[in-house]
Amino acid sequence: MSDATAKTDLQISYVRDQMLPEQAAPAVNRGPIGWMREKLFPSIPQTILTLVCIYVLYLIIPPIIQFFLIDAVWFGEDRAACTTEAQGGVQPPDWFGACWAYVGDYANQFIYGRYPDESQWRVNIVWLMFFGGLVPLLMPSAPFKRENIVFMVLVFPIATLILLTGGNFDVRGLYLPLALVTGLALLVAYGFARGSQSDPMPALKATAIVCASFFVVITLIGFDFGLERVQTSVWGGLLVTMVIAVTGIAASLPIGIALALGRRSDMPIVRFFCVVFIEFWRGVPLITVLFMSSVMLPLFLPEGVTFDKLLRALIGVALFSSAYMAEVVRGGLQALPKGQYEGAMALGLNWGQMMRMIILPQALKLVIPGIVNTFIGLFKDTTLVLIIGLFDFLGQIQSSYSDPSWASPVQSLTGYFFACIVYFLFCFGMSRYSMYMEERLDTSQRN
């Protein structure tokens, strides 16, 4: 004890008793050099790997830039601009570059297909409505969300249908069945309301409003706006791609939710139908579904009833993607803790209220990445309709190769590269947006 005291008295310490000021890391460990040492050349095998990768990049990137930017032809009238002299053009003998002049010449077809020139303003309005309605809907800070949703769900589809086809459908036969259904629906609504001894008026009112809006819709699409009828057989390009993708997305979400709920229902017959439906559509390739809808579906319809080819493809795509959507939604429903259901029941909510207000908002939020993945898959799958003879964006590009006025060895590479850019922008954009939404909606239930 005394020794120790003596030592402290002497104030000699062998260990430093103050902190040294912080010093910067050695030069080799910071800045770009340090970063490269750590991330690119930490060991000999890693260095070899890095060098191999750099060599691969060297092999890939310069030729691509050379082909698509430096040697590319940007302006020209016909194939002469994009062929070498030996092939009948103006380019030097060993020229090999992209032919953007051809893409520019075909741009109109790639967007509208063979849609008549004098009616293309109708398509432009649809594009405008679509993006004008979608962009504020996707921005969380934009105001008027409710009005926006109403516009996109109610106004946009009907306006699109009328604008694109020309409207003026023969709907006279629909009024009588609709009147009958309305009567029946009112009766059922009244019956349920009376059964529960509550005021029947709200249910009746809601039913009446729904039926009345159907009347309005039918009248609208039967009304002659003086627009020329454009058959779907001349639609093409990005227009068809977007029609199929948007219809598929719009139809698959509600049908998929219904199927998912049905699959988890307690009613055995409902569950059985839903399971069979989902497993069947998920077990077969989309191509066979499209074949089925194009060659088999007409056989199932009574004589004289014919569906448009595009409409048949739409039905096939919608059924197919709703089966996938159902499984995604089921995942979300299963992931919710049981307490959420029990809490909703404890509040005395009925099944519909529980699903609408408690379960589905949470379940759907949980599976946003899955839903967007299904959307992306659906968007990519729209290309398959070219196999049953519809000209979507890729189909239009593919068919443009048969035009002799632009035929050249570089034509197909240019066209495919252009298709790659367009599809990549859409799909990559969607996936980035889903990541952003996921982050925004994250209530940190996950770790």
Partner 1 sequence: MAVTDIAPGGPSPHGQEEAPPKVALLNNPKVRSWLFQIVLGVVVAYLVYAGWVNMNANLQAAGVASGFGFLDENAGFSVAQSLIEYDQGTSSYGRVYVVGVLNTLVVAFIGIILATVIGFIVGIARLSNNWIVSRLATAYVEFLRNLPLLLQIFIWYFGVLRLLPGPRESFDFGPLGLLNNRGYFAPKPVWGDGSIVILVALIAGLAIAFGVSRWAHKRQMATGERFPAFWVGFGAIVGLPLLAFVAMGAPLTFDVPEMGGFRPSGGMTVIPEFIALLVALSTYTAAFIAEIVRAGILGISRGQSEAAHALGLRQGQNLRLVIIPQALRIIIPPLTSQYLNLTKNSSLAVAIAYPELTSVFAGTALNQTGQAVEIISITMLTYLTFSLLTSAFMNWYNARVALVER
Longest CA span, the chain: 114
Query: Could you tell me which of 208, 221, 152 has the C-alpha nearest to residue 181?
Result: 208
Handedness of CA 198, 200, 204, 206 (dihedral sign): negative
Between CA 446 and CA 159 the distance in angstroms is: 42
Between CA 299 and CA 333 the distance in angstroms is: 38
Q: Are 229 and 308 in contact (CB under 8 A)?
A: no
Contact flag: residue 264 with partner 1 (CB under 8 A): yes
Q: Show Cβ contacts of residue 329 under 8 Å, excluding neighbours closer than 6 positions.
A: 256, 257, 260, 363, 364, 367, 371
For partner 1, the binding residues in 78-117 under the rule CB under 8 A are none
Nearer to partner 1, 151 or 273 (CB): 273
Q: How far is the CB of 63 from partner 1 (least distance, A)?
A: 13
> How many residues in the shown chain lie near partner 1 by CB under 8 A?
73
For partner 1, the binding residues in 309-338 under the rule CB under 8 A are 338
Q: Are 415 and 103 in contact (CB under 8 A)?
A: yes
For partner 1, the binding residues in 342-361 under the rule CB under 8 A are 345, 349-352, 354-355
Taking CB under 8 A as the criterion, the residue among 107, 201, 295, 435 binding partner 1 is 295
Contact flag: residue 292 with partner 1 (CB under 8 A): yes
Nearer to partner 1, 60 or 128 (CB): 60
Taking CB under 8 A as the criterion, the residue among 86, 269, 443, 446 binding partner 1 is 269
For partner 1, the binding residues in 154-193 under the rule CB under 8 A are 191-192
Nearer to partner 1, 48 or 150 (CB): 48
Contact flag: residue 59 with partner 1 (CB under 8 A): no
Q: Show Cβ contacts of residue 16 under 8 Å, excluding neighbours closer than 6 positions.
A: none
Q: How far is the CB of 100 from partner 1 (least distance, A)?
A: 16
- As to burial, measured by CB atoms within 10 angstroms (0-12 exposed, 13-18 middle, 19+ buried), residue 425 is exposed
Quick note: the x/- pattern for partner 1 over 372-401, rule CB under 8 A, is: ----x---xxxxx-xx------x---x---
Q: How far is the CB of 64 from partner 1 (least distance, A)?
A: 12
